Structure 1
Amino acid sequence: MKRDVILDTAARLFAERGFNNTPTSLLAKEAGVAEGTIFRHFQTKDDIFFTLINNVKTQLISDIEKYLEVRGPENALEKLESVIKSFYVFVKKNNMEFSLIFRDAPTRYGQRHDDVFLQIKEIYSYVTNYLKESIEEGKQEGIIREDVSAQDYADMLMSTMVGLVRAVHFGFIDSSDDILKSVIESYTRLLTTK
């Protein structure tokens, strides 16, 4: 129970103040625990950060799987659209947690062998693989052009989505379903045989 309170408080403080500007003494005070209690649950402040990123990854994967199960897309384009929408909605819904990824992770970490980097890469790879599979299925169904590189388009689409959610997160553009609809329609036009 205290572990969850520490994590919730850390997510909020890291999102508000940044990782480097959140001493464990403040975290303990805000969580209503002794500073030593933090270190009974986590080895270091970095361990808290890693746990938060891992939790985001786990929840994102679970949410996408549930969304696809409930939506039950009938063809590859619908599956592609469902993955895009579920990723976008998840990031909007978990804005606080994604501020860790968008702001602190790139500056705090970034070594290719670092645990946090690997967790973030798993998020990217998971979603990109779903997009790639959908494109490959669409090619087999005859609704996506044969000359399309599934990997290249999956990477471009994921990069577009990451850029979009970052721009929304930082307030560079307003969050709207219209922009998401435009992204989906644009990629559909690029991919389809019609």
Structure 2
Amino acid sequence: MSLKQNILESATRLFATNGFKNTSISAISRHSGAAEGTIFHHFKNKEDVFLCALNRAKGLIINEVDDKINNRQFDTGLEMVEAVINVYFYLSEAWGMELALLHRSHSYELASVNDACRTTIETIYNCFLNAISEGIIIGKQDGSIGDVAPSKTAVIIFGMLNGLLRFNAENIFPVHSLYFDILQACKKILANSCDEVQV
């Protein structure tokens, strides 16, 4: 592993665990074993380290989604949506620190003023939203999914997943024990026909 990658892995862990404001360059230096001068040789400032860590996370996450969703064939659209849910849970375990970067408040604060950060976060979220939406479209055609609006339903399902896993990332509530309940809730949403919905 290169020194720069080692710095990014250390920074990812510290930003995900302590947040942006509570992570200093000296802490990244201590954790990675790289001198502060070496860190500044590779990165302009702490924000640049954060953005590079976020971009690294984006690459890892998108590669997993491509491998486990986009490059696979599914028998039904419902099976595809279930696979997206499985992948999101898998990533929360395998790449927990990388996903935790997305759940820290600094990511959203920075995204509101930094286009590169906003684009990175949107790209990560859109890879999941697009896969769910595509699964819904396929499922409506093959009959495995009811008459639901693909884009809106994808946002609802992903919002539920993302919100629950944020609880997990913040150690508020252990959501992995709810996996089958979440899967059943998503199946009910996807099976819904308009006349069954009571608002």
| TM-score for the superposition, normalised by structure 2 | 0.86
Partner Cα separation in structure 2 for residue 49 and residue 188 of structure 1: 37
Residue 69 of structure 1, CA deviation = 6.8
- Matched to 1:116, the amino acid is C
The corresponding residue for 1:45 is 46
Task: Report the CA distance shift for 1:175/1:190 in structure 2 as closer, same or farther (over 3 A).
Answer: closer
The corresponding residue for 1:185 is 184
Could you give the per-residue CA deviations for residues 18-75 of structure 1, whole angstroms, max 9, x where no partner exists? 2222221232233222211111111221111111111111111111222237874211
What is the count of residue pairs matched by the alignment?
192
Partner Cα separation in structure 2 for residue 22 and residue 15 of structure 1: 9
The corresponding residue for 1:132 is 133
Residue 154 of structure 1, CA deviation = 0.5
Task: Report the CA distance shift for 1:16/1:169 in structure 2 as closer, same or farther (over 3 A).
Answer: closer
Task: Report the CA distance shift for 1:104/1:186 in structure 2 as closer, same or farther (over 3 A).
Answer: closer
Any idea what SS the aligned residue of 2:146 has?
A: coil
Identity score, percent: 29
- Matched to 1:175, the amino acid is V
Partner Cα separation in structure 1 for residue 19 and residue 126 of structure 2: 26
Residue correspondence of structure 1 range 42-121 to structure 2 within 5 A: 42-68=43-69, 72-106=73-107, 108-111=109-112, 113-121=114-122
Could you give the per-residue CA deviations for residues 94-128 of structure 1, whole angstroms, max 9, x where no partner exists? 22223322124346413165311221111111110
The corresponding residue for 2:164 is 164
Partner Cα separation in structure 2 for residue 43 and residue 106 of structure 1: 18
The answer to whether the Cα contact below 8 Å between 1:112 and 1:118 also exists between their aligned partners in 2 is no
The answer to whether the Cα contact below 8 Å between 2:69 and 2:131 also exists between their aligned partners in 1 is no
Task: Report the CA distance shift for 1:17/1:114 in structure 2 as closer, same or farther (over 3 A).
Answer: same
Partner Cα separation in structure 1 for residue 97 and residue 185 of structure 2: 29
Could you give the per-residue CA deviations for residues 125-154 of structure 1, whole angstroms, max 9, x where no partner exists? 1110111111011111122223x1111100
The answer to whether the Cα contact below 8 Å between 2:77 and 2:138 also exists between their aligned partners in 1 is yes
Partner Cα separation in structure 1 for residue 32 and residue 192 of structure 2: 55
Task: Report the CA distance shift for 1:188/1:5 in structure 2 as closer, same or farther (over 3 A).
Answer: same
Partner Cα separation in structure 1 for residue 151 and residue 186 of structure 2: 14
Any idea what SS the aligned residue of 1:38 has?
A: helix
Any idea what SS the aligned residue of 1:176 has?
A: helix
| TM-score for the superposition, normalised by structure 1 | 0.88
Residue 80 of structure 1, CA deviation = 0.5
The answer to whether the Cα contact below 8 Å between 2:11 and 2:28 also exists between their aligned partners in 1 is yes
- Matched to 2:27, the amino acid is L
Gaps of 5+ in 1: none
Partner Cα separation in structure 2 for residue 14 and residue 159 of structure 1: 23
Give me the CA root mean square deviation: 2.2
Gaps of 5+ in 2: 194-199
